[in-house]
Amino acid sequence: MLMEFQTKLLHGKAVDNYANGSTVPPISLANAFAYESSEQLEKVFQNRAPGFAYTRIANPTVDAFERRVNELEGGIGGVACSSGMSAVTLSLLNILQAGDEVIAGSALFGGTLDLLHDLEAFGIKVHFIPRVEKALIEPFLTDKTRAVFGEIVGNPALNVMDVRETADFLHGKGVPLIVDSTTSTPYLLNPIQYGADVVVHSTSKYINGSGDAISGIIIDSGNFSWSPERYPGMKEYKKYGKFAYLVKLRNGIWRNMGGCLAPMNAYLNIIGMETLGLRMERVCNNAFRLAQALEKLEGVSVNYPLLESSPYHELAEKQLSGKGGAILTIRAGSKERAYKLINHLKYVKIATNIGDVRTLVIHPASTIYIHSTPEAMAEAGVYDDTIRISVGIEDIKDLIQDFTEAVESLGEE
């Protein structure tokens, strides 16, 4: 049965019947799960019987969360992680080894940029390109390229990747496309439908919704054929067919690095994601209307994918269900003006997060990007006068008024 998004969230196949008719899943906080006999525990340990042994390896509440996100994304399975960064890291380390190369967008979340530089110490070379698109990828493709990584809607550059075109091109070259879909969320698009091979989310953001549980997830499409010649680590997992990537991840680097999600956070995410459709509808509308209002004001420039002034206007319309997401950036002219504008705002929190029900703002250059060079910052769409706004669910009239007053206060010097 085909279901629309918000119905699927509440009544999909992955939504279990919980004990006693409980409408929300129980929170299983136990570290360990006991069995009647050694024989039974042996079977569970060897994946020969269903069940849970130890929460770092699998947990019922985390499992419920993984299945729900996987159903929304249309993957073959998911592995939840302790954070979005953990998901990004492990999605790559699951297939990489020293000597390998990755091509990545340079307009990435700051933490991901830092991570990709960290990988160099392990012999993994990363080539950065300003946008993840065919023409820019091509010159860097070598027989050592093992993955292309990018964000679908870059945070905070707000450049939009053409997932279908990129995936089709890469598949012709035998290279997988791994996407971070945090800012686009399953509500705006399912990257797997557009050809992405592996999808990661920082579920700390929109999926959680209230900003109360750091977490991440890796969803596998099952579509990429991992050749053992290019991915020697995959050799022993070939027998799992389309599940090879997931089984390797779950039984290998994810489990051994201990990047599991805490059951309490899985629970908070399940509760939060039940309103994902509602919240996204609201925050996308709010963001678009705020962007349109700010565009009319003197003294600031606005970047938002749905605005006609954005080069990604058409692609956003086509690929993101006609929506532009909940993030916009404005440039205020100088760092001082940016700070003054931010400090004038009444209905925002000055905080480093996105995807909260509250509107949040930050000056990225002095915070998230402090480890980046000015050139790298510019490539990520971050300048000294850039303000990132993560639009919340407040009433849009109040937000527009608040921002308008703040912008107008700049002119009163």
List of residues contacting ligand PLP (CB under 6 A): 83-85, 88, 109, 111-112, 151, 155, 180, 182-183, 202, 204-205, 214, 216, 354
Q: What is the dihedral of CA 156, 158, 159, 164, to 10 degrees?
A: 110
CB of 391 to ligand PLP, least distance (A): 14
Shortest separation between residue 33's beta carbon and ligand PLP, angstroms = 27
DSSP 55-80: TTT--HHHHHHHHHHHHHHT-SEEEE
Residue 372 or 406 with smaller CB distance to ligand PLP? 372
Phi, psi of 85, rounded to the nearest 5 degrees = -65, -40
Q: Which is nearer to ligand PLP, 183 or 269 (CB)?
A: 183
Q: Give me the least distance between CB of 363 and ligand PLP, in Å please.
A: 16
Nearer to ligand PLP, 192 or 214 (CB): 214
Residue number, nearest CB to ligand PLP? 84
The residue (of 191 and 226) whose beta carbon lies closer to ligand PLP is 191
Q: Closest approach of Cβ 38 to ligand PLP, in Å?
A: 38
Residue 218, both tokens: 């890796």
CB neighbour list of residue 400: distance below 8 Å, 6 or more residues apart:
289, 290, 293
Using the minimum distance from each CB to ligand PLP, give the nearer residue, 287 or 406: 287
CA–CA distances in Å: residue 211 to residues 214, 272, 356, 398: 8, 9, 5, 22
Nearer to ligand PLP, 151 or 385 (CB): 151
Give min distance, CB of 212 to ligand PLP, in A: 12
DSSP strand pairing (360-362 vs 216-220) = unpaired
Cα-atom radius of gyration of the chain, to the nearest Å?
22
> In the bound complex, what is the minimum distance in angstroms from residue 408's beta carbon to ligand PLP?
30
Torsion of CA 167, 169, 174, 176, to 10 degrees: -20
